[in-house]
Amino acid sequence: MGYDRDEWRRPWRAPTASWATDPGRAASDATDTPAITRFPQPPPTGWSASTAGPGSPVGSVRPPDTVGTVDAPSTPRRRPFGLLLGALLGAVVGTGATLVVTGALDGVLEESPVEEATAEPDVPSTVAAPSIEPLSESSIVPAVAEAVTPSVVRIDVRGEGGDGLGPAGRSGLGSGVVYRSDGYIITNHHVIDGADSVEVRLADGDVLEAEVIGSDELNDIAVVQVDEAGLPAINLRPESEPLLVGETVIAIGSPFGLDASVTAGVISALNREIRLDEQVPGGGVQTIPSIVQTDAAINPGNSGGALVDAQGRLVGINTAILTRSGASQGVGFAVGAERAVDSADQLIEQGFVRHPLLGIAGTDVSAEQADELDLPARRGAIVESVQPDTGAAAADIRPGDVIVSVDGELLATMSELVAEVRRRAPGDVVVLEVYRDGGVFEVEVELGELPR
C-alpha cells in the first residue's frame, strides 16, 4: 500500500516534481511515493501579486522580559504521539548512509554562510502587536487577523548566482514574522537559502532591503534584519500553556504572492516528524522532529509565515505541507514556536545555532525485535551503531541496546528520542534508561556538539 505523501518546503517558485522511494517499499510502488523536497520556483508569467491591505495600529506593548523569549514550562510536557511520517528514522553520527544524531539526531549540519549582523541595541525595543482577549467563536478569526497581520511580512528573494534558487536570475518569495521591534524577522531557512538579495515587504506596503543574519538548516529557521525601528513584534505563546490537539489556529502569510492571506483551522496533531529528500553532508536523510500539524490551508509562499492561536500568539512557523496535488490538502506543518525562538535567539546573538550530539544511529523497535529481545514492552529506540568519540561511546552504549527513556520520560519511537535530545544543549547530561541482555540499567551521557 503506497503512501500519499508529497511534502514540499520551498519559497514560491517554478513547479517541478521530485519523487523518491521509501527504502522499504517495492519498486512497483515507487511512482506513487512523493517525498519531501524543496523546489525552486519563480512566479508564473503574467502573475500579479496583490499587496497587503492596511493593518491595524499597534496597540499594547509586550513586556521587556517577553521580547524574544517564552516562559519556562510549569506543567509536564505532553507525551509525543509517536506517529512517523516516513520509513526508517535513524539518528546517526558519522560516515556512511546513516542518519547523524544531532540534537535531533538527524543530520550533519553544514552551516549556511552567515553574514555578520550589524550593531545591535543593548536592549531590544518592545513594541508588540495587540493582545487578543478570548472572544466568541465567530469573532476569533477576524480579531486575530486584524491584530497579527501587521506582524507578518512578505519576503522576496533573488539568487543571481543560481545557487539554491535554481538558474541565475531566478527569484522566489515566502513569508516572515516580525520577532523583534528593532527589525529582526524570523522566516524559513529554505526561503532565503541561496539568495543573493532579500527584500521585505511590510504589511503597510513599505519595501525594505534585508540582511541575512543567520540560518539554522536543521530546524529550517532563518533570521533576517531590516533597518527599521518600531515594528509590531508578534506576541509569543508561553511554554506554560501547552498546545492542545483540536484548538483553533490561524495561518497568515503570502501564498502565491497574495499578501496578508488568512486561513483558519485546528491543530491536527503534535510531535509529528517530517523527512526531507535532501541528503545531508556525511550521508543520511534530513528530518525535523516535533512538528505541529494543522489543517489550516498552507500553500507555496506561506513558508516562514505565522501560525497563531486564538489570542494571536505565535505557536509555529509554517514550513511544509503533505500533498499530491501541489496545493493544500489539509495537512500542513509548522516548526514549533519554542524551537523557532531558540534558534532565532542564537542566530541573533552569535550568527549560528549550536546543536547537541548524542552519537548513535537507530530506529524504532519492531514487533519482531521486541520478541527476539524479550522486551517487556514493544516500544523504544534500538541502537544500530555508535559513533566513536561521542558521549554515547563514552557511556558504553552498544549496538543492540534499546533506549526506553530519557530523564525519566518514556520513549515509544526513535523520533521521540530525536526530539528529546534536540530540546537540550551541547554539554547537557541526560540519563538514559537502557535495556540490554534481559535487564534494564541507567547511564548518564554528556551530549556533544554537532560540528559546524
| 48 contact partners, CB below 8 Å, separation of at least 6 | none
Of 274, 416, 417, whose CA–CA distance to 358 is shortest?
417
- For 170, phi then psi, to 5°, come to -75, 150
CA 164, 274, 2, 265 dihedral sign is negative
CA 257 to chain centre: 22
Q: Within 10 Å of residue 247's Cβ, how many Cβ atoms? A: 11
Distance CA 291, CA 275 (A): 11
- Phi/psi region, residue 384 (left: phi>0; alpha: psi -120 to 50; beta: rest), is alpha
| 292 contact partners, CB below 8 Å, separation of at least 6 | 243, 267, 269, 270, 272, 307, 315, 316, 333, 334, 335, 336
Helices (H), 50-99: none
Catalytic-labelled residue, pool 171, 190, 290, 295: 190
> Catalytic annotation on 190?
yes
CB 264 within 8 A of CB 248: yes
Cell numbers standing for residue 146: 486584524
- Name residue 385's beta-bridge partners: 361
Catalytic-labelled residue, pool 175, 303, 328, 343: 303
- The one-character DSSP state at 234 is P
In the three-class reduction of DSSP (H, G, I as helix; E, B as strand; rest coil), residue 9 is classed as coil
Produce one character per residue of 85-124: b if its CB has 16 or more CB atoms within 10 Å, e if not: bbbbbbbbbbeeebbbbbbbbbbbbebbebeebeeeeeeb
CB 222 within 8 A of CB 212: yes
> Catalytic annotation on 189?
no
Strand 356-357 to 197-201 pairing: unpaired
- The one-character DSSP state at 282 is T
- Name residue 177's beta-bridge partners: 152, 186
Catalytic-labelled residue, pool 156, 220, 309, 401: 220
Distance CA 335, CA 326 (A): 20
CA 83 to chain centre: 17
Distance CA 381, CA 405 (A): 9
Grid cell 513584534 in the structure block, residue: 233
Query: What is the set of active-site residues?
Result: 190, 220, 303
